[in-house]
Structure 1
């Protein structure tokens, strides 16, 4: 007879380990991407990705895999509850870890303007030029504050003065980009909550079956 509660738990557990894979792939691929030579197409996104806590993402992914391994005895045994409880605690820790990562990224969006100015100042002239060409702007606040970098978009001071500063398009891009990332982090937390609910249902189901089994044993039956 198929146990729908166990099946639900298994499905949610697979989704849970899938979030770990997603975190690991995103973190490692992003670290590799950031180390690549800046180009017109990747300079802005790479600078934004560099503010994400990627090492924390890798650590969280590893913890998810460990938690999934802990869940296997609970899946393979039809009566055990100890491993399920242990798994539940690890899922709670993983969910809190992911939530902290999401909150850190969200907090960064609250001070985007200042953060991007600091990022701009740290970039060499070549990268600043790529940002200008990518966003079609000159300078950060405007063409003179700080001074623009001469390139195809800003070839002269007169032309640069007609262009907007990079702060507006850069901030809009950063907010939209980081919003997507921290929303995905909170979505992963939602999966963690669903796993915890599945664990609670399976624990209740097994507790009920154990109680009926004890009743049957007292009545001289073989249980079920």
Structure 2
């Protein structure tokens, strides 16, 4: 029973560290991707990633790794409870941090169309044209509301009127893309919660072992 408990604890502790690596890796790769020249394939993702708290994600990932490193003494010192308590509180902090990031992205999806309208309006002609080509549409609301670019998709006002605006397609893409991000963040929080429960169970077991040791010492002392 004890071996299974420690195995589960170690497993989720390693999974906790892997989640930190995933969070940091995604944030760093996203920041690097955003510096690349816009293309049809990356233009929409880059605009959405620019609205995400990527720097905070890197900080959170670093904090998760530090917490994992501080948990190692708890594994190699089977009678120690201080390191376990510290790890438990730090995991709670990490979970709260990650939950805040996920909620920030989720709240942004509640007003997707309004936010995307402002984002679209601030883009240079090249980006607007790339978005029109990606979603096969013309303008955000329609071709009569700027910014709108004439390109190989929107050849003229007649074609643009037939294709319609990008609001529906862009919003749908944004919601799907951001849903993956905040769902992943909430999944990491779930791992954190399970790890906290494992820490609590290991703490309880070690506390009981400590109490039994004190009882044995008293019994042995009474025998003399």
Query: Could you tell me the TM-score, scaled by structure 1's length?
Result: 0.96
Shift of 1:3: 2.1
Structure 1 position 66 matched with structure 2 position 66: yes
Task: Give the corresponding residue for 2:40.
Answer: 40
Q: Aligned residue pairs: how many? A: 221
Q: What does the per-residue CA deviation read over 1:26-60, in whole Å, with 9 as the maximum and x for residues that have no partner?
A: 00000000110000111111111111100000000
Partner of 1:10: 10
| 2:121–2:147 CA contact under 8 A, matched in 1 | no
State the partner residue of 2:104.
Answer: 104
Q: Which residue of 2 aligns with 1:210?
A: 210
In structure 2, the residue matched to 1:220 is: 220
- Aligned position for 1:76: 76
Structure 1 CA distance for aligned equivalents of residues 127 and 138 of structure 2: 13
How does 1:1-224 map onto structure 2 within 5 Å?
Answer: 3-220=3-220
SS of 2:163 mapped into structure 1: coil
For the 8 Å contact 1:148–1:160, the answer to whether it is kept is no
CA offsets 1:132-187 (integer angstroms, 9 cap, x no match): 00000001101111252111110111111101201110001111111111011000
RMSD: 1.3
In 2, the alpha carbon distance for the partners of 1:147 and 1:95 equals 41
Question: What runs of 5+ residues in structure 2 fail to find an aligned partner?
Answer: none
Aligned equivalents of 2:151, 2:56: Cα separation in 1: 38
Moved over 3 A (4+): none
Show CA shifts across 1:71-124 (max 9, x none).
Answer: 111000010001100000000000000000000000100111111111111111
Instruction: Tell me the TM-score normalized by structure 2.
Output: 0.96
